[in-house]
Structure 1
Amino acid sequence: MIRTSAPVEAPTTGTWEELVTTALLGTDRRTPPGGASGRTAPVTLLDAAAVQTLRRRAGLRPAPAAERPEPAPADPRPPLPAAAARRLAMLLADRPGAAGGGRRGTAPGLMELLPQWLAAANARGYAAPPEALPALLDAARSRTDLRPAVLTFGGPRALWLARFNPDWRFALRAAQGVALPGPRDTDRVRRLWEEGLFAERVALLAAIRARRPAEARALLATTWATERAEDRLMFLDSLRTGLGPDDEPFLEQALSDRSRNVRATAAELLSALPGSAFAARMAARAGACVALDHTRGTPTIVVEAPHECDADMERDGVVPKAPAGRGERSWWLGQLVEAAPLGTWHTRLGGRTAQEIVALPVADGWRDELHAAWCRAAVRQRDASWARALLGAPSAPEAAGPGALSLAERARLLGTLDAAERAEWVAGFIAAHGLSEAFQLLGVCAVPWAAPLGRAVVDALNIARDAGSYPWSFSGVMGLAERCLDPAEANRLEGLLAVPDETENASPGAGGYWAEAFQRLVTTLRLRSAMEEELGPPRAG
């Protein structure tokens, strides 16, 4: 027989530590103060703990009251109209994905409309309702894409509130609504720059740079040597605004920075200044690698890639170590061509235009590498003529376009064109190739989509439906259309709401899915129209 030892009685003093020990050991092994045992022991223990808790609280000495926080700053912007405030509460209450996978049905995804609603509210200059600020900050915490719009809409009160909740600390790191000193208040500018939070310093530098580029650069120079590498990188990026020849000496100095990322950013900014000494150095290096051979039947571009990456090249931002699977020489060549001014090639290749240069044959398999580098240069230098040449006609038979550019590269090239030309090109691409390859291209088009682009998307969806295609393959494009199609298109979609007759080769249940998807699209477009009406007309000017 196993014998258990009798419970040991706890000391009668009943201190808090003794009560905790008794609770951990159990009342069958240790008797609570007072000598109770058996079934009444747990109750006795809890009674003793209650008495001890009251004694501990009563014995506390009053502490000095904490300093009351400063009141939230006033927000001078006009309040939201009542209907728009109710709509915001509905959007914030939506929790996507709660129902799991499967069909979405006909109900619009409200949370997906929040970015568009915020953009419209900010364009009209409204202040966020104070009661909505916690939900807005929570939404921005989980979705980084919302943060700039939420912090602009929340204004100074959102920043004030964020200081009291560690979960909202991101707002203090990336503040958009920092109260900045006036342009003539040099003492406050200097104090904020030297003592402010990082987000306040970024906002200050960006604001001054937008109005007075030289003053912003001079302010940055005062603390440049003592800044952390990651901060130097962020501050240097602000020089993209108002970039000009006067920035060249500072950027040349940054080419010797101890941080590789800072050096690379400085090199990128210098390459966007065609008249800089850096651009001239890169043009000379790239020009030595690319020439025109007239001895063949057709003038042909020939390439002799660099044989080494010397110290001067490395100082100018050329990364010597190639990524895995990439040849060193082609890696160096791509960086040189990318950084050289595109005007170099008109002179180097016989005065030809960008379109004529892109059409030239390239010897020895260097065409893809050379065209990809020109693509990056066109994006970096915002050169629309080179972008058009590299994009080619949207109906080109090659899915990847001239020079085998990827769809991602084509999307970046489209970003150099104005909104109308961009939409027209993508509409032509969809008409020629359908939607399967167009998702990335649609993502760079201005919202709402221009009428030709919207019609091209709807027509392509209708063709896919009539062909019995798998509807799930187009869910991404359909979701994009819900957010980007002009709400005025809703009436034109009425004819697509009926369930179509399923053809012999159609996917089972596809007709019902398509009908649901078009119904959701129409419902969402009408909801977006109502949102705009609730917010009122855009602010003048």
Structure 2
Amino acid sequence: MSGSTSSWEELVTSALLGTDRRPAVGRPEELLDAAATQTVRRRAGLVPARAGVRPQAAPRDERPELPEAARRRLAMLLADRSAPAHAGGRRGSAPDLGELLPQWLAIANERGLRAPSELLPTLLDAARARTDLRPQTLTFAGPRGLWLARLNPEWRFALRGASGSAALPDPGDSESVQLLWEEGLFAERVALLAAVRAYDPEAGRALLAATWATERAEDRLMFLDSLRDGLAAADEPFLERALADRSRNVRATAAELLSALPGSALARRMAQRATSCVSLDRTGDGPLVSVEAPHECDAAMQRDGVAPRPPAGRGERSWWLGQLVESAPLDTWPVRLGGRTARDIVALPVADDWGDELHAAWCRAAVRQRDAEWSRALLGEPSAPPGEGAGTASLAERAKLLSILAEDERAAWVARFISAHGLSEAFQLLGVCVVPWAGALGRAVVDALEIARDAGSYPWSFSGVMGLAERCLDPSESPRLEALTATPPEGEGASPGAGGYWAEAFQRLVATLRLRAAMRDELCG
């Protein structure tokens, strides 16, 4: 056969049918020789592709390098993030390294350290898989991480979510600021606006106003949201104009920001509407808060951010009332309700079952206006059973109100709550406490866990709090926990196997606290 001249298609057909059914092509070895010859011809005949444009060199990152021990620890944490779950759902006594990664990143960023270049791809993969890691990861990755993300479509989340702070120009360099604002990526522009606002609030607002009309609606929303930090009366004219924005979400955010400025014209308008609905009734045996909810949501209310249509399950009038009250300055109410303090106002009975709606709106107002006095009043006494006494019974509302208080006051309130009620309802409240937990709070948590263990409680019911304790307890508490690592005797009525589970959980807790202490030492070394 003439193998060197057989076409590629003929050779493929012969290979598929077999040389016994295609005798014209010759023996099998001749077929292979012909295929090899054709393969060389086909490859030699290819036109070389045009070389791509080489990317620009990665930017410099002037931050200090990680200490070697910390670099090894980071590699270990990243390698463990995809480790398989423990059999049977039990976590064992070894620390969960993946759950320590956010804390490691937080400490590294506090120290202003630079990410190792060889670990940047793994870091970005971790942040792609876990959205909770992204803010800390992208700060740590710095300008080189952002540069690398541009080269891989799988990391495009970084281009809209990176802080980019390490690559920002000096906020006082107006020419460089203007250039980046006009040409930068969205993430860079968000970070730039925040930096300029912190340096010169008026300049930051002017930067945004100059391009406001040409920005996309979703970008306008995020830019507007960045004005929360440093919000001041000087922002009111810009926000008032944003009330007429073509995007409903932008209008709602502008109204919310204006209502957080108690002296704004919108806040005064909302106060006037709200006080027409809420008054003090003295005709009975004692003072009573009377409520007459709005009967309509007119165009002026809608322009000021009141959404006319309630969510499913909510009545229109209660929906409108809540929006008016939450947007009115809180100093409206002592004047309206007989000169009483916030605590006295919250303790007043409310007519016609409007109390929950009114208190929930005051909770939202206290959070929005960051009013500590009203937050304390609405929290009530931590020792009071939920639902009894003045204040809100909602754990979600309590968690938000606690975030307004100073760190030490917040921790003390939650510690007293746990001492009075145990841990069954404390998980949400613990989540707003600053890490590591203050001494009194940490002791209250450990005491409550020990009580639950000694009572023979289902240990699985406390797995969430135990996991939180691993991340949030002060590592200095580990010596105190040593006594709890032994398996306790199982009393009557205890859950089968509970003692072993509790011992395992406390062993893991102690090991995790020691590892956290080592991590901090490595990063600070």
Alignment of 1:139-538 (within 5 A): 139-178=126-165, 179-398=167-386, 402-536=390-524
Q: CA deviation at 1:32?
A: 7.3
1:68 paired residue number: 54
Judged with a 3 Å threshold, the aligned counterparts in structure 2 of structure 1 residues 427 and 222 are, in CA distance, closer, same or farther, namely same
Counterpart position of 2:90: 103
Q: Shift in Å at residue 33 of structure 1? A: 10
C-alpha RMSD over aligned residues: 2.2
Check 1:400–1:19 CA distance in 2 against 1; reply closer, same or farther (3 A cut).
farther
Could you tell me whether the CA contact under 8 Å between 1:349 and 1:357 is conserved in 2? yes
Structure 1 gap ranges (5+):
1-9
Q: Residues 27-48 of structure 1: CA distance to partner in whole angstroms, max 9, x if unpaired?
A: 26997796258xx4xx877765
| Alignment check: 8 A CA contact 1:280 1:340 kept | yes
Q: Counterparts of 1:319 and 1:80 in 2: how far apart (Å)?
A: 51
For residues 22 and 181 of structure 1, the distance between their equivalents in structure 2, rounded to whole angstroms, comes to 67
Which residue is equivalent to 1:27? Answer: 17
CA displacement, residues 480-523 of structure 1 (integer Å, 9 cap, x when unaligned): 00000000000001111111110110000000000000000000
Is the 1:372–1:405 contact (alpha carbons within 8 Å) kept by the matching residues of 2? no
Alignment of 1:85 with 2:71, yes or no, is: yes
Structure 1 range deviating more: 113-122 or 45-54? 45-54
Q: Percent identity at matched positions?
A: 73
Letter in 1 for 2:116: P
Q: In 1, Cα distance between the equivalents of 2:267 and 2:457?
A: 51
Q: Helix, strand or coil for the counterpart of 2:170?
A: coil
Q: Deviations over 1:409-452 (max 9, x none)?
A: 11000000011000000011111111010000000000000000
1:171-199 alpha-carbon deviations (Å, 9 max, x no partner): 11112225223334433322222222111
CA apart distance, 1:97 = 4.0
Q: How has the CA–CA distance of structure 1 residues 509 and 253 changed in structure 2, closer, same or farther, with 3 Å as cutoff? A: same
Measure the CA separation in 2 of the matches of 1:414 and 1:401: 18
Q: Distance in 2 between matches of 1:230 and 1:71?
A: 32
Per-residue deviation, residues 178-229 of structure 1 (Å, max 9, x unmatched): 5223334433322222222111111111111111111111111111111111
Residues 508/280 of structure 1: CA separation in 2 closer, same or farther (3 Å cut): same
Tell me if the contact between 2:325 and 2:362 (Cα under 8 Å) persists in the aligned partners.
yes
- Deviation >4 Å, runs of 4+: 10-13, 18-23, 28-34, 43-50
Question: 1:45-56 to 2 correspondence within 5 Å?
Answer: 50-56=36-42
Distance 1:52 1:520 in 2: 64
Q: Distance in 2 between matches of 1:141 and 1:111?
A: 14
**Residues 220, 51 of structure 1: alpha-carbon distance in 2 compared, 3 angstrom cutoff:** farther
CA separation of 1:374 and 1:14: change in aligned 2, threshold 3 A: same
1:4 maps to none
8 A contact 1:84–1:534 mirrored in 2: yes
Could you tell me whether the CA contact under 8 Å between 2:386 and 2:393 is conserved in 1? no
Deviation at 1:401, TM superposition (A): 6.8
- Displacement of 1:240: 0.8
**2:279–2:289: 8 Å Cα contact kept in structure 1?**
yes
User: What amino acid is the match of 1:135?
Assistant: T
Partner Cα distance (2:173, 2:13) in 1: 63
1:289-309: per-residue Cα shift (whole Å, max 9, x none)? Answer: 000001111100000000000
* Amino acid in the other structure paired with 1:214: E
Question: Please, which of 96, 104, 107 is the counterpart of residue 120 of structure 1?
Answer: 107
Q: 1:99 deviation in Å? A: 3.4
* Separation in structure 2 between the aligned mates of residue 14 and residue 406 of structure 1, nearest angstrom: 79
Deviation at 1:328, TM superposition (A): 0.3
Cα distance change on mapping 1:480 and 1:64 into 2, 3 Å: same
Residues 277-336 of structure 1 show CA distances to partners (whole Å, capped at 9, x for unaligned) of 000000000000000001111100000000000000001000000111110000000000
Q: How far apart are the structure 1 equivalents of 2:37 and 2:19?
A: 22
Provide the C-alpha distance between the structure 2 equivalents of 1:350 and 1:385, rounded to a whole number of angstroms.
18
**1:343 CA drift (Å):** 0.5
- The one-letter code matched in structure 1 to 2:377 is A
Q: Structure 2 CA distance, aligned partners of 1:44 and 1:371?
A: 90
Cα distance, 1:59 vs structure 2: 1.7
What residue number does 1:3 align with? none
Q: Is the 8 A contact 2:435 2:473 kept in 1?
A: yes
SS of the aligned residue for 1:500 comes to: coil
Match of 2:7 among 9, 14, 19: 14
Conserved 8 A contact 2:392-2:398: no
CA distance in 2, matches of 1:350, 1:420: 33
On the 8 A contact 2:363/2:375 being kept in 1, the answer is yes
- Deviation by residue 1:318-358 (Cα, 9 ceiling, x = unmatched): 00001111100000000000000000001000111000000
Q: CA deviation at 1:106?
A: 0.4
CA contact (8 A) 1:493 1:522 kept: yes
DSSP-derived class of the 1:302 partner: strand
Query: TM-score when scaled to structure 1?
Result: 0.92
Q: Note closer, same or farther for the CA distance 1:184–1:469 as it changes in structure 2 (3 Å cut).
A: closer
Distance 2:20 2:432 in 1: 72
Change beyond 3 A, Cα 1:75–1:55: same
Asked whether the equivalents of residues 367 and 403 of structure 1 are also in contact (C-alpha less than 8 Å), the reply is no
Unaligned runs of 5+ in 2: none
1:72-120 Cα deviation digits (max 9, x unpaired): 2221111111111111111111024433542111000001001111111
| Distance change (3 Å), C-alpha of 1:475 and 1:19 | farther
Question: Aligned partners of 2:161, 2:421: CA distance in 1, in Å?
Answer: 41
CA contact (8 A) 1:14 1:33 kept: no
